[in-house]
Structure 1
């Protein structure tokens, strides 16, 4: 394993959530936390976002937030992974039936429209 790959794996381990929610109620709580964090990031940027604000907006205790996300970086990482997966799914769906250059051009144009 090269140095770059090791650094990425270390970053993922550092930024990953402490635990994955297993119960429906916990999954819903985590969704509220991520939605609150996403809204705060959109409003003020990730550097200005505070864990206490995320907990307050999500309607959870700060302890509950830390139970799933050890720090702000873990929240940002989870959001980035989610948006990356959504983007990849959108691109795959748009390109799945492309068979020629014209189809690619059309699909690419639609993807650009979706992006903007």
Structure 2
């Protein structure tokens, strides 16, 4: 995975978004379900890459997914780096899977 990528986020419904000095910042008391993470790993055929500071990263040839956990081990947000025009695949999956019922896909 090299070159340009597009960023995308899956966030809980009603998340406040703000572009800060260090990138996008999100604030919500809601959390994402663990089933969303498992579904994305399965359907996108992602493999575990690494974890650090309550962030778990998964990868395939066109997508890197980083899952951000809070201190209660609940998912705050999911961040994607999407290469090779796979953003359409991610968008279609988001709509078709029913994930949109409890979260939002944010593409800055």
Normalising to structure 1: TM-score of the pair? 0.29
Structure number with the higher strand fraction is 2
Normalising to structure 2: TM-score of the pair? 0.30
Query: Is the radius of gyration larger for structure 1 or structure 2?
Result: 1
Structure number with the higher helix fraction is 1
Of structures 1 and 2, the one with the larger relative CO (CA 8 A, separation 6+) is 2
